[in-house]
Amino acid sequence: MQTCYYEVLSVSKSADGAIIKKAYRKLAMKFHPDRNPDDKEAEASFKQCTEAYEVLSDLQKRKIYDAYGHEGLKNSGYQGPSNSDDMFSGLGDLFGDLFGGGGRRRPQRNGPQPGNDLRYDIEITFMEAVHGLAKEVEINRRDTCWTCEGSGCRPGHKRTTCPSCNGRGQVIRSQGFFQVSSTCPQCHGEGEIVTDPCKDCNGSGLVEKNKKVSLKIPAGVDTGAQMRLRGEGEGGRRGGQSGDLYVVIHVKEHDFFKRDRQTIFCEFPVSMVQAALGCKVEVPTIHGKKAMPIPAGSQTGERFTLKREGVPSLRGAGRGNMIVQLQVKTPTNLCDEQKNILKDFDALCQKNGQHQESEGFFSKLFNEVLGKKDKDTK
């Protein structure tokens, strides 16, 4: 005894088309073979609910079924879906929603095909990145064949329908009750083949070429920045547009300058005497030399800001700053005269009480350490 189609979909006899479709979607999601591989029970359930949906979603078939049941359908000539092609016919939109592509693929159109995008990595110096540059590079790419204009055919000839898939771009193989489609290996899904190939591109529609491309790299770029050059990628086929070229920038490190976005950092060495007495020095910046005063008594690690001596903004909104960090250098390889002068200097500092601050700090530290040690020994 055959099961009632309404019971199969768990809907009432008064259910409208939207309710029937919703019920079938739910069951199809549950029993679809893609989600239940090698499950015969799920396969049978899927076949049954699909048959029920095919009848109840068709107004004429449903009218006959409501009046005369299964026998009425048989007498009208309906025998149910005999194969997977019949089962999936008319359900493409429904399965497209469910599984992102549907039970059957539509043949691909053989119109213009755009070229692929290409990537080109370029390394530039720190200063080139800061100031920008114009540069010409040579890239190797596949360009549209001018002999056949990208068709792949010898001039005067046309592409022919693929004999393996009859122009569908897909070949179908049986797998039990179902039929599985895959891309045709002869035409690669295009539905057509080249029988008289162009001698210059061997039927591909593309030829290898070296091309010089002019780059205008703006001031302020950094590692990872990308430039998009429209139409400078791989050539299109059969009248399709060329792809784009993406230029990825890599910036070499600098020995003196360091960068954080628009801010430049550097360490600047000064002598012990310069730091003690104060002076004015010329600091190299990415834009040239800049005079910078150093106050008397400056210490290692102190930072000074030079306004607008940093990296230009890519958006043209001014420049960043430059941060200069002092490095006070202790003299080495002193001669006896220099040593004596420093000893006299140290004695004067002692006499004037200029060591008291450091002596007081270390005295406090020693007392803390010794105090803790006495407590530990008790």
Tell me the C-alpha to C-alpha distance, in Å, between residue 21 and each of 16, 26, 54, 340.
Answer: 9, 9, 10, 101
How confident is residue 99, by pLDDT bands cut at 50, 70 and 90? very low
> 137: which strand partners?
213
Condensed to tens digits (0 to 9), the pLDDT of residues 264-296 reads: 898 888 888 888 888 888 888 888 888 889 888
| Between 365 and 149, the higher pLDDT residue | 149
- pLDDT at position 360 over 70: no
What confidence score (pLDDT) does residue 265 get? 92
How confident is residue 179, by pLDDT bands cut at 50, 70 and 90? low
- pLDDT at position 318 over 70: yes
SS3 at position 271: strand
- pLDDT at position 101 over 70: no
What confidence score (pLDDT) does residue 80 get? 64
Superfamily of domain 5-99, CATH level 4: DnaJ domain (1.10.287.110)
Cα separation, 33 vs 64, in Å, equals 30
User: Strand (E) positions, 113-243?
Assistant: 118-124, 133-144, 160-161, 170-175, 178-183, 192-193, 206-217, 226-229
Exposure of 31 by Cβ count < 10 A (0-12 exposed, 13-18 middle, 19+ buried)?
A: buried
Cα separation, 288 vs 309, in Å, equals 9
Cα separation, 133 vs 119, in Å, equals 20
320: its two tokens: 């960043």
Mean pLDDT over 1-12 rounds to 85
Q: What percent of the chain has pLDDT over 70?
A: 81
Under 8 Å between Cβ of 282 and 303: no
- The CATH number that domain 258-329 falls under is 2.60.260.20
Give domain limits for the chain: 5-99, 258-329, 336-377
Alpha helices in the chain (DSSP H): 5-9, 17-31, 40-56, 59-75, 84-88, 92-99, 126-131, 272-277, 336-351, 356-377
pTM, whole model, 2 decimals? 0.53
Does 258-329 match 5-99 at the fold level?
no
Tell me the C-alpha to C-alpha distance, in Å, between residue 176 and each of 33, 86, 156, 179, 200.
Answer: 11, 15, 45, 8, 46
Condensed to tens digits (0 to 9), the pLDDT of residues 126-146 reads: 989 888 889 888 888 888 888
What confidence score (pLDDT) does residue 104 get? 38
Q: What share of the chain is helix, strand, coil (3-state, %, to 5)?
A: 30, 25, 40
